Structure 1
């Protein structure tokens, strides 16, 4: 590769990714070049015709091989963007998806419901901490707890909170257990839990199936085990009176069933379904005024 220009190296990687069935091959190649060289896209284009640094060749070729083998780009570069901020990710956590930003937007609409006081928010299954940290930064004064069963995930999330200067308290444990043990009664219960049916996990794309943590994917036989536990606990978890709110991200064909779970658990609660950009019911919410 000695003497080969950056442009030639990039286009070669893009062609290789295309041959391996990697979606958006040019984007992937550009992202790896920028990561290895430590430059943004503008700087990359400025040195487009310069020789690719010899001392960076081995690192770049290794990353290209790994990406061609379906290892997620976000794990290779060690980060991803979510709600306008950069979050560190590793194979210990699920990679935050753009549709989860819809969940954030829907939760932030509730600020008027809690006007005049600082609410308690609990994020169940926090993973990288993307939801909890974003809410802590966007909702001034809120007390935010983040729960996860995985020590490794909590370490990643805590690191993200420190780097982004977000005040979040992290709790280790299964679903709502840490909240119950500490007597924490959140005004807002938020979760993007595992929601893939167990048998369907083997049918996922290789990038997800072979690299993202199964603990963050497998939602039980029908994919709805976490929603049952969380929804049934709402009467106990929510404060005895006053406004309260719950919001989940769900998988395809789960929206109506999860909405019914909330309605059954808390009579007279107002519920709703927010579709994503493909028209799939993605965010299910319940509100007590």
Structure 2
């Protein structure tokens, strides 16, 4: 049961902001004032500066109606990113909608680590073969292709919906990416391809925990991109088992991982026989978030 918003006496932008904020607070939204501002600015199409100096201006009726509709959607815990249709990642705007996981800030650490370590391991002008397993919105593969245009970047996803959205993002951002559809690394194994860099942010939430996630995640984001099997490690086992076949003699591997999973995944990497050195990197909250493996090419 959601309260209907009465906009009859809302005349100015300031009043609209106040009404939206009160409504979201009543609905139990965690940061109602912040989200209300984002919603009002989105409906107006304004940046923050223009918004702040125009609070006393009248709000157009169409904008008011659109704001009321978006507040109702947010009260049902629809993610703001799906409502706005975009999410920024590594300084670039990515289209998102139901069917793809919304890119998270933690995943930027994975990309950053791979780029830094590749720069240390190979000459700057070398064209490397990169495979991103689990395309989603394309945040990882497109960012890598934009940051290192001379690399050859491929990506694999099982979901046609995700691949379609990622293609849109690649086109919009001018990224050259090869899209493959299939189950994890199967298309690469079938083609007997080997890569210099393998990167993945696979589903890693244990099946029993998916239903305990916040409503806005479990009700809107694709379960296929969340559920990692009984212990959350199903995809990592398959990825690590394939490493000896997939990697060139010298190679770099990077996985994003869930809380308390890093050491198990580091052990899977080392146990694969395809990796010589493993390192765990924490995110800004101090949670072990990225596992990096290096195949040194030295016998």
**2:230 matches 1:215:** no
Partner SS, residue 244 of structure 1: strand
- How far is the alpha carbon of 1:46 from its aligned partner? 2.5
Partner of 1:111: 119
Residue 67 (structure 1) aligned to one of 67, 74, 90:
74
- How far is the alpha carbon of 1:268 from its aligned partner? 5.9
CA distance in 1, matches of 2:214, 2:20: 21
CA distance in 2, matches of 1:184, 1:25: 49
Normalized against structure 1, the TM-score is what? 0.96
RMSD: 1.2
CA distance in 1, matches of 2:61, 2:193: 56
Q: Deviations over 1:231-254 (max 9, x none)?
A: 110000012x2x201110000110
Unaligned regions of 5+ residues in structure 1, if any? none
CA distance in 2, matches of 1:267, 1:197: 26
Unaligned regions of 5+ residues in structure 2, if any? 1-6
- How far is the alpha carbon of 1:58 from its aligned partner? 2.1
Residue 133 (structure 2) aligned to one of 106, 109, 124:
124
- How far is the alpha carbon of 1:264 from its aligned partner? 0.4
Aligned length: 287
Partner SS, residue 93 of structure 2: strand
CA distance in 1, matches of 2:275, 2:92: 37
Partner of 1:45: 52
CA distance in 1, matches of 2:169, 2:128: 22
Partner of 1:134: 143
Could you tell me whether the CA contact under 8 Å between 2:159 and 2:181 is conserved in 1? yes
Partner of 2:209: 200
Residue 272 (structure 1) aligned to one of 256, 260, 279:
279
Normalized against structure 2, the TM-score is what? 0.93
CA distance in 2, matches of 1:179, 1:137: 22
Q: 1:15-94, aligned counterparts within 5 Å?
A: 15-94=22-101
Give the ranges of 4+ consecutive aligned residues of structure 1 lying more than 6 Å apart after TM superposition.
none
CA distance in 2, matches of 1:174, 1:216: 12
CA distance in 2, matches of 1:201, 1:79: 24
CA distance in 2, matches of 1:157, 1:50: 39
- How far is the alpha carbon of 1:14 from its aligned partner? 1.3
Could you tell me whether the CA contact under 8 Å between 2:275 and 2:293 is conserved in 1? no
- The change in CA–CA distance for 1:268 and 1:45 in structure 2 (over 3 A counts) is closer
Partner SS, residue 246 of structure 1: strand
